[in-house]
Amino acid sequence: MSKLVIASIGPASSVQDGGRPGAQRYGLVPSGAMDRLALAAANTLAGNEPFTAVVEIGPFGAKFTARGSAVRVALAGAPRNADIAGRAVASDTSATLADGETLTLGFARGGSFSYLAIEGGIAGEPMFGSLAVNARAGLGSPYPRPLQAGDELQTKAASGAPEQRIELPAVTDAPIRVVWGPQDDEFADDTKKQFLDSEWKISATSDRMGYRLEGPVLKHLHGHNIVSDGTVNGSLQVPGNGQPIVLMPDRGTSGGYPKIATVISADLGRFAQIPAGRAFRFRAVSMPEAQVEARKFAALLRTLPERLRAIESVDLNIDALHDANVAGHAVNAVDAGTWHAVTLADIAGPD
Amino acid sequence: MAATLPPPRLLPSGDSAITVEFSRNIDDAANRRVLALDRAMAAEPITGVTETVPTYRSLLVHYDPVLIDFEKLGETILALAQRPVPATTKTRRWRIPVVYGGEHGIDLEDVAKTLNTTPDDIVARHVAGDYRVAMIGFTPGWSYLSGLTDTLHMPRRQNPRLLTPAGTISIGGVQTGVQCLAGPSGWHLLGQTAVRTYQLHRDPTFLLEPGDNVTFAPVDAKTFAEQDRAAEAGEFIAEQIAT
pLDDT per residue over A166-188, tens digit each? 999 998 999 999 999 999 999 99
Of A138, A235, A351, the CB nearest to B13: A235
* A185 touches A259 (CB < 8 A): no
Q: What is the mean pLDDT of residues A257-271?
A: 97
CB contacts < 8 A (A, B): 177
Task: Please report which helix (H) or strand (E) contains residue A73, including its range.
Answer: strand A71-77
Closest to B208 in 3D by CA, of B186, B231, B185, B179: B179
pLDDT tens for each residue of A101-142: 999 999 999 899 999 999 999 999 999 999 999 988 889 999
Vertex A149: Cα angle to A143 and A150 (nearest 5)? 75
Phi-psi region of A92 (alpha: psi -120 to 50; beta: other; left: phi over 0): left
CB atoms within 10 A of CB B215: 16
Instruction: Name every chain B residue with its beta carbon within 8 A of the beta carbon of A293.
Output: 15
**Residue A126 at interface with chain B, using a CB cutoff of 8 Å:** no
**Residue B181 at interface with chain A, using a CB cutoff of 8 Å:** yes
- What is the SS3 assignment for B239? strand
Q: What is the mean pLDDT of residues A280-305?
A: 98
pLDDT beyond 80 at A333? no
Task: Please report which helix (H) or strand (E) contains residue A57, including its range.
Answer: strand A54-57
Q: Over its length of 243 residues, how does chain B's per-residue pLDDT go in tens digits?
A: 445 678 999 999 999 999 999 999 888 899 999 999 999 999 999 999 999 999 999 999 999 999 999 999 999 999 999 888 877 677 899 999 999 999 999 999 999 999 999 999 999 999 999 999 999 998 899 999 999 999 999 988 877 888 999 999 999 988 999 999 998 888 999 999 999 999 988 999 999 999 999 999 999 999 999 999 999 999 999 999 876
pLDDT beyond 70 at A348? no
Cβ of A294 within 8 Å of Cβ of B198? The answer is no
Instruction: Name every chain A residue with its beta carbon within 8 A of the beta carbon of B135.
Output: 228, 254
pLDDT averaged over every residue in chain A: 90
CB atoms within 10 A of CB B86: 11
Q: Minimal Cα distance from A179: which residue of B?
A: B14
Distance from CA of B78 to the nearest CA of A (A): 17
Vertex A48: Cα angle to A43 and A54 (nearest 5)? 50
Cis? peptide before A142, omega within 30° of 0: yes
Rounded Cα gap, residues A240 and A238, in angstroms: 7
Rounded Cα gap, residues A57 and A80, in angstroms: 11
Instruction: Name every chain A residue with its beta carbon within 8 A of the beta carbon of B198.
Output: 26-28, 137
Q: Looking at residue B88, what is its pLDDT?
A: 66
Instruction: Name every chain A residue with its beta carbon within 8 A of the beta carbon of B138.
Output: 27, 228, 252-255, 344, 348, 350
pLDDT tens for each residue of A29-59: 999 999 999 999 999 999 999 999 999 999 9
Distance from CA of A178 to the nearest CA of B (A): 7
Q: Looking at residue A332, what is its pLDDT?
A: 35
Instruction: Name every chain A residue with its beta carbon within 8 A of the beta carbon of B144.
Output: 228, 350
pTM score:
0.90
* B96 touches B171 (CB < 8 A): no
pLDDT tens for each residue of A212-231: 999 999 999 988 878 889 99
Rounded Cα gap, residues A221 and A187, in angstroms: 5
Instruction: Name every chain A residue with its beta carbon within 8 A of the beta carbon of B37.
Output: none
**Residue A351 at interface with chain B, using a CB cutoff of 8 Å:** yes
pLDDT band at A295 (very low <50, low <70, confident <90, very high): very high
